[in-house]
Amino acid sequence: MNKKLAFWLSFIIVAALCWIDYQYFTEGHAHLITPLQRQIGHILLLVAIMPVGYIGWRFYGIQWIYKLWLISYAAAIAIIGITGLIQWKTGLFGIVFLDQISSLRLFFTSPLPYFMLYIINKVVHTQQNHVNK
């Protein structure tokens, strides 16, 4: 498969998964399901976005980007998961902190990280070309 085609196809799939998360588990139809079902849906879609983006960046062929993708998504999933478990068992965290965790989840269930890495790659590539001239 053409690497650019795979990259952009992955971006489209990431964007579609993000739309599903937002439409069905954040806004839109979210009021029709229980909070636990929403939380499970958020996590499942976040976990689904991770390999799709990885495949896109892997086809793109720049090693540091797909490693950064994996590390950042693994860290976000770990932070969200651990926070969720602690909150579920102890109720330790306040609303303000949980809102920050929700913002982290919202960021990673958007196409923004994928697009940001694309822009960062273009800037790095442009800078390298100017230095090599």
HSE-CB for 115 with a 13 A CA cutoff: 11
CA distance 5 to 77: 28
Residue 1 banded pLDDT, cuts 50, 70, 90? low
CA distance 65 to 78: 20
Write down the pTM of the prediction: 0.89
User: ∠88-93-94 over CA atoms, to 5°?
Assistant: 125
Per-residue confidence (pLDDT) for residue 31, from 0 to 100: 85
Bigger pLDDT: 129 or 39?
Answer: 39
DSSP 33: S
Tens of pLDDT, residue by residue over 36-92, are: 999 999 999 999 999 999 999 999 888 899 999 999 999 999 999 999 999 999 999
| Residues whose CB is less than 8 angstroms from the CB of residue 84 and which lie 6 or more positions away in sequence, other chains included | 39, 43, 101
- Show me where the domains of the chain are located: 3-132
